[in-house]
Amino acid sequence: MERPAPCPRVNFALMERYIGQHVLLVCKLDSLEPQMNRAHVVTSDGGRVTVALKTATFDSSFVEFEGIVDAPNQLREEARCEFGSSFDMTTYDRLCQLSNTDYKTLFA
């Protein structure tokens, strides 16, 4: 299966740059609306995003979503990878910033 590339790693502040595009968003689950297949999540820079889910069941609190940015605070899930119950969001946020600015050429 051909995967979209580039698929940049983003935080909340970067999402607005990629409307309509595929991104990777690592976030912490805040709350779920299973009936609506939606999750409310907190991004690595503390922003709040609503994710339209494929399935509303999770085994861990940190999740990497691969999806399409529908709006600056809305993501449509294409795939996910659960990152477990412990993840360093502060360092990850630094990676998001570096990979979209000074070292973007290594990633996109």
Candidates 27-35, 50-58, 67-75, 76-84: pick the segment binding other proteins (CB under 8 A).
76-84
The answer to whether 36 and 52 are in contact (CB under 8 A) is no
Candidates 35-43, 49-57, 67-75, 80-88: pick the segment binding other proteins (CB under 8 A).
80-88
Q: Which of 12, 18, 62, 65 binds other proteins (CB under 8 A)?
A: 62
Q: Is 96 exposed, middle or buried (0-12, 13-18, 19+ CB in 10 A)?
A: buried
Decide: is 57 part of the binding site for other proteins (CB under 8 A): no
Write out the residues near other proteins by the rule CB under 8 A: 1-3, 5-9, 24, 62, 64, 66, 79, 81, 83-84, 87-88, 90-92, 94-95, 98-99, 103, 106-108
